[in-house]
Amino acid sequence: MSKTTLAIIAGVSAAAGSAATAAIFASRSQRKDSLPPTASSTPTSNYAPAPLTPGSQIPALRKDLIPPVNPTGIFQYGFPGPVNDLHPTLSTTSSFDRRTKNPAWVAEHITAASINANNADRRHSYFVEDESIPEKFRARLHDYFRSGYDRGHQVPAADAKWSQDALDQTFLLTNMCPQVGEGFNRDYWAHFEDFCRRLTNHYPSVRIVTGPLYLPKRDHEDGKWRVSYEVIGDPPNVSVPTHFYKVIFAEDGKTGGDVSLGAFVLPNARIDNEKPLQGFEVPIEAIERASGLEFAGKLPAQRRKRLCEQVTCSLLVRDYADRQKNLMGSSPPKKLGAGPTPK
């Protein structure tokens, strides 16, 4: 196992997630320091079946054979799924996972102009349920009530101050996951979000995909790996992720130009603000393997750069109260009942 891999695993270990993160890297023992290109998905038509066991054979397709059954007839009653609700808003594009009641991923695009704009006031924004999701599949406000978890933005509100409508839409529950509050969502994770915004000082265009992970952890008694996570709500139905990822595409602004890629996995747990961000850097393939998603299959290897080789991947720690003040405009808050819950 390379020193880089060991460092990554050790980094997450310090934040209560070593076993789960180690699982991601189980097959990356020979990984070099630079992020390798992501292999594109293998088309189904080129899939190579497993070797046949003795006596087994694949039945030949016969055009003259009329089956006595029609399995696809079930579609007359509806398509079982899975259905991933693709949900674009002014500030985000996301895919919602109806099973976990969390987004599978949320994408955003930021620039220096969008970040420096200050046309919105967070005091006018409120957490709301997303009625575009069927009622039985959506997360609800009361699911988070006294759960012990924050309604954690995947795309942060601070990235959408260019419009009040855009800012308001970041408060949809389809942009939320249960996150540990103190020590993570209000601290290390928020500093990480600030790092992403500061990338617009170096790149004219930055795209970020954020989402939850549910990673296995080794049982100390029998040594087996299991996926285990809390579920909140009444009835319990909103899954609490074990980890979160961000995949960053920092674009140089040229047609067909270079893209600096950064991929990070952080445990949903308290993290010391002194912990180096680069300790959570992972190969993009590790996130793809763990999430079942693909992020850069169409980005040629010759256009890829490693983000942390182009810029210093480090956090600028700021007090939570100061960050909140930066989100507030100078106008007085509207009197619309209870104010928004801090992120």
The H or E element containing residue 113 is helix 112-116
CA 215/CA 18 separation, integer angstroms: 11
Question: What is the rounded CA–CA span in Å between residue 275 and residue 15?
Answer: 9
Nearest to 199 by CA among 161, 163, 233, 249: 249
End-to-end CA distance of the chain: 38
| Cα distance between residue 107 and residue 103, in whole Å | 10
Residue 21 burial class via C-beta count within 10 angstroms: exposed 0-12, middle 13-18, buried 19 and up: buried
Active site residues: 153
Residue 17 to residue 22: CA distance in whole angstroms:
8
Q: What angle do CA 169, 174, 178 make, to 5 degrees?
A: 115
- 199 and 248 in contact (C-beta within 8 Å)? yes
In sign, the C-alpha dihedral spanning 225, 247, 245, 313 is positive
**Whole-number Å distance between alpha carbons of 87 and 187:** 28
287's enclosing H/E stretch is helix 284-291
Structure tokens at 302: 């010759």
What is the residue whose two structure tokens read 């699982």? 23
Closest-CA residue to 102 (of 128, 129, 139): 139
Q: What is the distance between the alpha carbons of residues 123 and 333, in angstroms, rounded to a whole number?
A: 6
